[in-house]
Structure 1
């Protein structure tokens, strides 16, 4: 693996737009492993190997994205594109982060609805999941090493991890709490966060209120346009209206990423609307976990089945395609609105010492967030079953030891050897582990 020191972190380089598109497509096709894996991949590709964004900028933007509803990794990708090439860069990187996974999930949804055999596909991506586990661990080690500079920051990271893993506190609450601690610490003892006593220079640019308001207004109109068309042409009783309305609401309350709302979405889709059965919901989640793109793409699977099974006046396939497209639209358009509206404010917020303290503390907490996601991902990759154990206000999701999958553990160990010892590139590691997953399924089926 390339060393990040080959590109000066203090002097990020700006790629051409064509190069940004090529790398964005690469990231979109390789963004396995949920938010932890996707953030790790972007950090490696953008910060470490190419130096397009500095470590500080990356973590500052990641902090900000944790405050927003929606998939934080997709929003981070949009911000990186915006930072490098303005709105067209944001659209390019944000869309290319979503489109490959959306096309794969759509194809699999169509196959699933037609009862096609997906065992070979699941086996292939099982190996990829094991490889992603090693990639995520590597990213966690690297980010922690660079972000946790003082004992207080390390304590904040550990505290955030415990708050999430043991007490199941919401992501926004943990991040906001860290920000408050950092704000107060910077006012009294800034050196505890590795800060100087001096405030940074005041930003020279004007406050971008007009751009923010205009972006929100324009985005809201675009977001609502398909829903208005559905209401006018098909009415409020049609499944397309119900699908669009439900996932529109979900898009603005999905704080903390997809994991925070998956149980609510599954319960509503299965019990309230009857769009699919509980086992089918689990299948859809499994497909979303093993394909590129945000985990929230499982919404497209749900939307497709809903439209496929109640398509009138369309054919089942057309109804499914329309519902899947509408679901994807109402889920991801808000992500672009939030970033384009508020991204101009991110760097302004980092100038004052107290705000820098808040962001430094949040950066430390985000390391704990990534550690929690890494643990969650590791448990669900290496064990087929988990159980919740409660004691007082705390609870832990523990693996059932008898469900340990030694084949996946062996593939993950292979991936770790290739990454840490052999320094192999991500494409090589993914290809080898995908082949290993397929071979394991054929031998031990």
Structure 2
């Protein structure tokens, strides 16, 4: 294999194995590995790719990995990066699904997240600081980022926040001009989110693939939005799962590293065994590969357009504003006692002052969590 593709596989296999903590943590780790350590792309380019991923359906961090692979080595890099990032989590979830079917119980690993979450918080804070200095490049983008964070706390829809801030910054920067014509990347597929298939599907492999293909094509937002889609389709409409099984599936997705969309692997296995797991996983992630392949070539054109560039600047800073809101939520649920508070502070000092590999920090957090809770 091409040495470049081998490098891509190694990096994203590692990230997929240690990337606990959701999209914000994944983005922080990619910034460290891709921008800081390897200089594969600039931080400005990473922000542009992140801004674009926020405007299309699917798991943002996975799509960012796919974008980076495409930037590095074309369509082959796209496939290698995406699959390498997804496969570790899929393998872990698949094994847990087998155990679950046998014992009808979710394995307990509170100690793992107890030690890892505070470490991840510090990694995210460092990434926010670095990315924020690039994204908040002037007064309009800085204000846009603050407004996006406020919008998050007031419960506004994430896509509405991104579009509003993006358009606001674009209009402000180009207000004197007439006949504003920009290249807008609007999430039209979200219009299909209300489309519902009323057919009663039997849980065979083809139907599992089609259901998860639909979800992967129209889903914006994180795990709670995914939960709502799966509840409506798989529990209420098709009655493939019980609500308890669905909650257990979401819990497994949050417990394991990598994208929470690997919940699909767990659900697919519960419904139709190994083939079901494969069909569900391919179905939910395939749209992300397709969207990135179609959109990536336009990223530079968007940046070179004066109007679209202003829009992208707004989307970038809004993305970080939302990331800041998510970070606050994570802090409230992860920093829960003296130990986790001290661990967060110590890790923050380490990541800001020393170039320590995030993999070692995550492993160290897991070990400390095990020691403290056992």
Matched, 1:291 2:256: yes
> TM-score under structure 2 normalisation?
0.86
Note closer, same or farther for the CA distance 1:329–1:435 as it changes in structure 2 (3 Å cut): same
Query: Are 2:371 and 1:439 aligned?
Result: yes
Q: Is the 8 A contact 1:186 1:358 kept in 2?
A: no
Does residue 1:91 correspond to 2:79, yes or no?
yes
Specify which of 266, 277, 281 is matched with residue 231 of structure 2: 266
Taking a change above 3 Å as real, the CA distance of residues 237 and 302 of structure 1, as seen in their structure-2 partners, is: closer
Residues 135-171 of structure 1: CA deviation (Å, up to 9, x unaligned) = 11111122112221222211100111111221x2222
Aligned-partner Cα distance in 2 for 1:118–1:410: 30
Write the distance in 1 (CA, Å) between the matches of 2:113 and 2:210.
32
Q: Paired residues, what number? A: 350
Post-superposition shift, 1:179? 1.9
Please point out which of 326, 342, 345 is paired with 2:295: 342
What residue in structure 2 maps to residue 331 of structure 1? 284
Aligned to 2:270: 305
1:67 aligns with 2:55: yes
- Cα distance in 2 for partners of 1:298, 1:126 equals 21
Task: Give the drift of 1:407.
Answer: 4.7
Structure 1 pair 238/356, CA: closer, same or farther in 2 (3 Å)? closer
Aligned to 1:255: 220
- Map 1:197-208 onto structure 2 (within 5 A): none
Distance 1:49 1:189 in 2: 42
Which of 44, 64, 68 is the equivalent residue of 1:76? Answer: 64
- Within 1, Cα distance between the matches of 2:134 and 2:146? 15
Does the Cα contact within 8 Å between 1:240 and 1:323 map onto a contact in 2?
yes
Residue aligning to 1:187: 174
**What is the TM-score when the length of structure 1 is the normalising length?**
0.73
Give the stretch that moved more between structures: 119-128 or 350-359: 119-128
* SS of match in other structure, 1:33: coil
Match of residue 25 from structure 2? 37
Contact map agreement 1:31 1:37 (CA 8 A) in 2: yes
Structure 1 pair 133–170 and aligned structure 2 pair: CA distance change class (3 A): same
Provide the aligned C-alpha RMSD in A: 2.4
Tell me what 1:112 maps to. 100
Select 1:129's aligned residue among 117, 121, 139: 117
Identify the range of structure 1 (274-283 vs 103-112) with the bigger mean alpha-carbon deviation.
Answer: 274-283
SS in 2 for 1:16: helix
Change in 2 beyond 3 A, CA 1:436/1:270: farther
Where in structure 2 are there 5+ consecutive unaligned residues?
178-199
Query: What SS does the corresponding residue of 1:53 show, helix, strand or coil?
Result: coil
**2:142 matched residue in structure 1:** 154
The answer to which structure has the higher helix fraction is 2
Q: Residues 149, 236 of structure 1: CA spacing in aligned structure 2 closer, same or farther, 3 A cutoff?
A: closer
Greater C-alpha Rg: 1
Higher relative contact order (CA 8 A, sep 6+): 2
Alignment of 1:353-372 (within 5 A): 353-372=306-325
Q: Which moved further from structure 2: 433-442 or 370-379?
A: 370-379
1:54 aligns with 2:19: no
In 2, the alpha carbon distance for the partners of 1:280 and 1:438 equals 27
CA distance in 1, matches of 2:99, 2:247: 16
**1:245 partnered with 2:210:** yes
Moved over 6 A (4+): none
Q: 1:196: which partner in 2?
A: none
Contact preservation (8 Å) 1:251, 1:331? yes
Give the CA deviation at 1:257.
Answer: 4.1
2:163 is aligned to: 176
Moved more, 128-137 or 92-101: 128-137
Could you report, residue by residue, the CA deviation over 1:41-61 in whole angstroms, capped at 9, with x for unpaired residues? 111111122211011111111
Q: Deviations over 1:255-277 (max 9, x none)?
A: 23444332332354334444444
Q: Does 1:22 align with 2:10?
A: yes
